[in-house]
A and B are shown apart, each in its own frame.
Chain A
Amino acid sequence: MNNPNRTASMGIGIFVIILVTLQIFLLTIGLEALLAYEPGQAWAAAALSTVLGAGSIGLYVFFRRS
């Protein structure tokens, strides 16, 4: 029998791990692009990072409402 609370907490934990890992990865991509004089790549990393930031704001709003 699955405990729904536990399942939800695990889901959030996995979401957080993926989100932070991706953000760190995007930061390294951005820095690499900076060193390689590739502003296009740096902006792409920044855009994705912003999308992830917006995703976490969405999660926050969801929790505030629930």
Chain B
Amino acid sequence: MTDKKETRALWKERFPTETASEEDFTRREFVRYLVVASGAFAATNIGIAAWASTRNFDTGEPRPIVAVDKIPENGSYLFRYPTKDGPAILVRLSNGDLHAFSQKCTHLGCVVIFERDEEELYCPCHKGFFDASDGRATAGPPIRPLGRIAVEVRDGVVWALGAEK
């Protein structure tokens, strides 16, 4: 029993868990750091909100994408919309319906791919799944749906009419 106590005391002596400076760290100082940290968080949040207010959503201009017969049934076609930096995917489901979405996963921005067997959009980064008919997040980490792109067939050609949020 005494041995144990001595061992512990020796341990504390050799590896002290308190330093001299710790004693000087007052409660008031601690709260001062807290105020600074909390203020920094608040300022960052205000900055983000201001940035969000200035950001405009680019819906894009209507333009032809591809001829319908070039897209395999139950297949997909990759294109760029609304700008050259915007990867997008056009899917043709087995029932013939055409749907287009931004290819950027709403979790952390990886690109989604079309899963033919399940007819859904899949993000390989963290196994996120989206419904291929409306872009709804169905499984995995994503919560928000994929950005939709309105499409229309004109004279056998699929047109992108505009991106939606």
Q: Does B7 contact A (CB under 8 A)?
A: no
A16–B57 alpha-carbon span in the complex (Å): 38
Distance of A38 Cα from B106 Cα, bound (Å) = 14
Complex contact B41–A26 (CB within 8 A)? yes
The reply on B8 being an interface residue by CB < 8 A is no
Least CB distance, A6 to chain B, in whole angstroms: 13
Question: In the complex, are the beta carbons of A53 and B39 less than 8 A apart?
Answer: yes
What does DSSP make chain A's interface, helix, strand, loop or mixed?
helix
Known: A36-B165, A59-B31, A64-B28. A31 touches B48 (CB 8 A): yes
- CB contacts (< 8 Å) of B41 on chain A: these are 23-24, 26-27, 49, 52-53
Interface of chain B residues 26 through 84 with chain A (CB within 8 A)? 27-28, 30-32, 34-35, 37-39, 41-42, 44-46, 48-49, 51-53, 55, 57
B27 touches A42 (CB 8 A): no
Whether the Cβ atoms of A63 and B34 lie closer than 8 Å is no
- Does residue B12 face the partner (Cβ distance < 8 Å to A)? no
CB distance from A61 to the nearest CB of B (A): 9
Q: Which residues of B contact A64 (CB under 8 A)?
A: 28
A53 contacts which chain B residues (CB < 8 A)? 35, 38-39, 41-42
**Bound: A56/B42 CA distance, A:** 11
Nearest CB of chain B from residue A27's CB, rounded to whole Å: 6
For the complex, what is the distance from the CA of A53 to the CA of B44, rounded to whole Å? 11
Q: A6-28 toward B: CB 8 Å interface, digit per residue (1/0)?
A: 00010010001001100110110
Given contacts A30-B44, A32-B144, A52-B41, 19 further A-B contacts (CB under 8 A): A20-B38, A23-B42, A26-B41, A27-B45, A27-B48, A33-B49, A34-B48, A34-B52, A36-B106, A38-B52, A46-B42, A46-B46, A49-B42, A49-B46, A53-B42, A56-B35, A59-B31, A59-B35, A60-B28
Show 8 residue pairs from A and B whose CB-CB distance is below 8 angstroms, ordered by the A residue: A23-B42, A26-B45, A30-B49, A33-B48, A37-B57, A49-B42, A53-B41, A56-B38
Instruction: State the B residues within 8 Å of A (CB).
Output: 27-28, 30-32, 34-35, 37-39, 41-42, 44-46, 48-49, 51-53, 55, 57, 106, 144, 165
A residues neighboring B (CB under 8 Å):
9, 12, 16, 19-20, 23-24, 26-27, 30-39, 42-43, 45-46, 49-50, 52-53, 55-57, 59-60, 63-64
